Amino acid sequence: MTVAGTSNTAGAFDALMAHERTTFALGQVAGRLGWDQETMMPRGAADQRSEEMAAMESVLHARRTDPRIADWLEAVDTAALDDTGRAQLRHIRRNFDRARKLPADLAQELARLTSRAQGQWAEARAAEDVASFLPVLARIVALKREEAAALAAGGDPYDALLDDYEPGAKAADLEAMFTALRGPLVALRAACLAQPAPKGLTGLFDEAAQMQLTDKLARAFGYDFSIGRLDKAVHPFSSGSGRDVRITTRTNPVDPFNCFYSTIHEVGHACYEQGIDAAYALTPLGQGVSMGVHESQSRIYENQIGRSRAFTGWLYGQMRAAFGDFGIADEDAFYAAVNRLHNGFIRTEADEVQYNLHVLLRFDLERALIAGDLAVADLEAAWNDRFLADFGFAVDKPSHGCLQDVHWSVGLFGYFPTYSLGNVYAGCLHQAMRAALPGLDAQLAQGDTSGATGWLRETVQRHGGLYTPREVIARASGMAPSEAPLLAYLKDKFSALYAL
């Protein structure tokens, strides 16, 4: 980036960016502690780790609220900056304003509590014991309400939390978009489930062989292992940015698709971070601009590319090589099995038609928790009632219900709606990508995703935080974000699969 004008402007801008780079580097260290906690940390280290995370948050909060930031911002003449410099300032000013509103002791306590709560959630989930987790969740919700009130400054508290993950988004706007999704999705779900179901997978699939193939899948989608690694965790996730971006997956001997598509999903996140312009590293522009845009990458990798007829034809051959004859006759039957609608409890295992219904359930429940309209003590019953109403069958155990996701245990309120927003963004991007790459299916049929992933890297990923979330999608897809392309894609795909 270039800085014209006075030396005072240049000096202030350089000092500000030096401060930001150190802060972002420390943030990456804190993120690595979180990755270690999920993958390799000994179980007995949980209490110490919570103190370590609280200490890191204390240091980071002090840097994010350093009064010199205000002085540097005041000294910089924005007219002397290029577009990149102005974008850096936009993020710095926003982050500084938000950080100043949040009391340091509250930020530190949230970091300490959520680090400890993550392990308590995992234990409660394994034991199917909601009651053991509710006291800590109640404390997290209380602290998140305090945070929301501080950030909202009189506005909508949930919007203040949502803004942390999708800058500029409003819950009321998302509610309107989600309402437009719900009706057609419920109707499509009912129509598909009324038809004979395609044959699914049966038998056992060696978990070591799953990990070997999932490594191959990660490479096929462009994940760079020289600056990343793949491990196993309870809940798959991606962590880091720049030159250290790590992913996790999980295996299930009766469901290899869980492993394969969780991996492709997380590779989408990781490739976004790996694909950002290296000049932006350790600055506000050097990470995904929002979780909705992030999710657009993971979902388009997983679904529109990874579950396409062309790519599943290639994957079928890979699975035959890895597992032998597993009872699926041919590529068409395999494509149907991969995209088979099925009743299930788990969001991350849901088919494309039903996935968003899982997200909308969580969106409504967490808004009610933050607003105080739903008590934590009543969460399990509220979840189970809503699930029965939306899906037509009852939750059988807490790990299939309100304990299935890690998000609330680590304080990620306002995060869930970005999953469905990411699906909407992915629908817009897929429509534009297909128009730009008429020969894409021929490449995918050979296991070559480079045309699709290269297009996404060029139009979305390399920009990092240069543009606002909606600008990124509009520039790449040529249209303002809308649920229409997603609904059209789902209707076309599943109407063909189920002969509707």
In angstroms, the CA 20 to CA 14 distance is 10
Cα dihedral value 247, 282, 31, 235, nearest 10? -30
The maximal CA–CA distance of the chain, rounded, in angstroms, is 72
Annotated catalytic residue 166 = no
Structure tokens at 495: 């109407």
CA nearest 464: which of 56, 1, 34?
1
Contacts 24+ apart (CB under 8 A), 315-318: 315/217, 315/260, 315/447, 318/213, 318/216, 318/447
> Three-class SS of residue 394?
coil
> Amino acid identity, residue 263?
T
- Round to whole Å and give the CA distance between 435 and 412: 36
Residue 24 tokens, joined: 């972002």
- Percentages helix, strand, coil for the chain, rounded to the nearest 5? 70, 5, 30
- Residue 121 token pair: 């959630």
- Cβ atoms of 303 and 479 closer than 8 Å: no
Task: Report the alpha-carbon distance of residue 198 to residue 192 in Å, rounded.
Answer: 11
Q: Which one of the listed residues 57, 147, 166, 266 is annotated catalytic?
A: 266
The CA-atom distances, in angstroms, between 368 and each of 131, 134, 135, 199, 365 are 20, 16, 18, 39, 5
For residue 339, which of 310, 362, 360 has the smallest C-alpha distance? 310
Positions annotated as catalytic residues are 266
